[in-house]
Chain A
Amino acid sequence: MTTEERGTGSAGVALEAVGLTKEFKGFVAVNNVSLKVEKGTIHALIGPNGAGKTTCFNLLTKFLQPTRGKITYAGRDITRLAPAEIARLGMVRSFQISAVFADLTVLQNVRIALQRTRGESYDFWRSEKNLTRFDDEARSYVAEVGLSEFLNHRAAELSYGRKRALEIATTLALDPKMLLLDEPMAGMAQEDVERISTLIRRIGETRTILMVEHNLSVVADLSDRITVLARGEILAEGNYAEISKNPEVIDAYIGAGHE
């Protein structure tokens, strides 16, 4: 990505969904959602419980197949691709529950990502000693998220916030052009929230990010653009200032609280 593409907000569209719809046996979880994520921006998708955020997210990352609609990434139609192929195009997702390989060490977790992009992942006749050549690079990603002192700890032993940090380090090791984060701050202590926000902001300087969040305040000073989803449909879109004053949005949040 060149400098003029970054942060201008008009450099082009990274990810676009048109008329995205997902029906589960008569129940419409996501209804006719159209969304544009500009290159180099941090875009947030928010909404109250049951708004269809996660379904929408799973559609965009191809973990679910849409009933109708079209998804394009970097100008390419990805509507029918398998999830692993999406990752290979440079669009990597995270999960709501922290997704680490629990029984592997922090270093090994990051190496798994490096192994995929550099080959060698099918070599069953070689010694795993060969993987030590990824160690320096893996260490730099681990250092970037501040986990250096836990390099040789099993991922299962890490605190929740650190698991999320490890997940981000693993994702960064793939050098993705675009990250999709599923409630990256869910269930986190305040200290961790600030830490992860800082990390996301830094990653967003050079990459496109789409994040799903429940809480409007969390994304307030992080996102360039916010899309509000309610009952499977888009309710509003704009920057934080616009969104936070929108009466429909306020209503949806309070309304959902009563249901």
Chain B
Amino acid sequence: MAMADNTSDLAPISQSVGMPMLHKVIFVALLAVLTVLPFLVYPVFAMKVMCFALFAAAFNLLLGFGGLLSFGHAAYFGGASYVAAHAAKVWGFTPELAVLTGTAAAAVLGLLIGALAIRRQGIYFAMVTLAFAQMVYFFALQAEFTGGEDGIQSVPRGDLFGLISLQDNIALYFFVLAVTFGGILFLYRIVHSPFGQVLKAIRENEPRAVSLGYQVNRYKLLVFVLSATFAGLAGATKSQVFQLASLTDVHWSMSGEVVLMTLLGGMGTIFGPLVGAAVIVTMQNYLATLGAWVTIIQGVIFVLGVLLFREGIVGVLARWLKRPL
């Protein structure tokens, strides 16, 4: 080998394919904790955390792995929430069908908005997504079936597959656990799929990907739609938990919150968004008595997070452990 040698002392990356042992252990431990959680804490609170964890994980697919910052993800989360609530309440859909309908609506919305947004880059991309999300908000405020300021209230908790009543919080909890955990595992698969590999290449060096013949906009659109779809799955599920679809879900501050969760937990990591969502939702829940101070505390945490550990909680952990998390 005639080349100037300065790399031979570096260790090669482990060659194993499939999910690393560490990730398997974390997922199994997480599932174990979540199985006993509803008997320890208020189940509705736990369900809220899980819905937001899925939402943040879906957002992270786009930001952390697609390299695209959307500032309008509330549109898919909230949009799906409205459609699922309407499907369950007015059309009398069973919970799983209502959730699927809401998710499908988010996918279609993602396709329409994504197709226009990916033509722009960076801050312009973010602005286009925000503008469309504001249009969705306006629609939710003005349209007939969305109930304006009231939203869609007292959505019935139907029978799962027409068989199992979800009136009981514990039964509902395990439905939500299955949906969100399944969703997060599917997102993990997307990141570690042939498509995920191309996505990584595009993020690393877009001109090179183009020169290899990749039509990068198609990949960006697909990741956008997938992200919107899973954000929708989270929103649709949340509407079944709270029996409510409200303007909060489509408000721009919801788009901001999911950015905060993802960055705080660690963007581009697997477990970061879950941690970020848990921290933010817990804080909102237990500090709720402080009223407007919650927003201020959130702001302070965000500023400290950006200043002190830019890689996020899980990002820092991963660096210490020298392993991807």
Contacts and interface: CB of A to CB of B under 8 A. Distances in A.
A259 B224 CA distance: 50
Interface string A83-113: 1110110001111000111111100100111
Contacts of B14: 152
Greatest chain A CB density within 10 A among B18, B189, B198, B219 is at: B198
Contacts of B216: 84
Interface stretch (A46-54, A65-73, A189-197, A243-251): A189-197
Interface stretch (B90-98, B115-123, B207-215): B207-215
Given A102-B205, A123-B195, A161 B3 contact: yes
A104 B204 contact: yes
Contacts of B6: 159
B194 to A, nearest CB: 5
B193 interface: yes
Given A61-B211, A152-B12, A153-B12, A104 B200 contact: yes
B15 interface: yes
B287 to A, nearest CB: 38
Report, as a range, how many residues of chain A touch the other chain.
35 or more
Contacts of B212: 87, 92, 112-113, 116, 170-171, 174
Interface string B226-239: 10000000000000
A191 B4 contact: yes
Interface in A166-180: 170-171, 174
Contact of A174 (B186, B204, B213): B213
Interface size class of B (residues with CB under 8 A): 35 or more
A165 B3 CA distance: 10
Given A95-B208, A95-B211, A192 B193 contact: no
A124 B200 contact: no
Contact of B207 (A82, A99, A124, A129): A99
A142 to B, nearest CB: 13
B201 interface: yes
Contact of B15 (A131, A152, A162): A152
B1 interface: yes
B192 A146 contact: no
Contact of B18 (A84, A129, A152): A129
A90 to B, nearest CB: 9
- 4 A-B pairs with least C-beta separation: A87-B213, A152-B12, A124-B195, A99-B208
Interface of B: 1-8, 10, 12-15, 17-18, 186, 189-190, 192-198, 200-201, 204-205, 207-216, 218-219, 222, 226
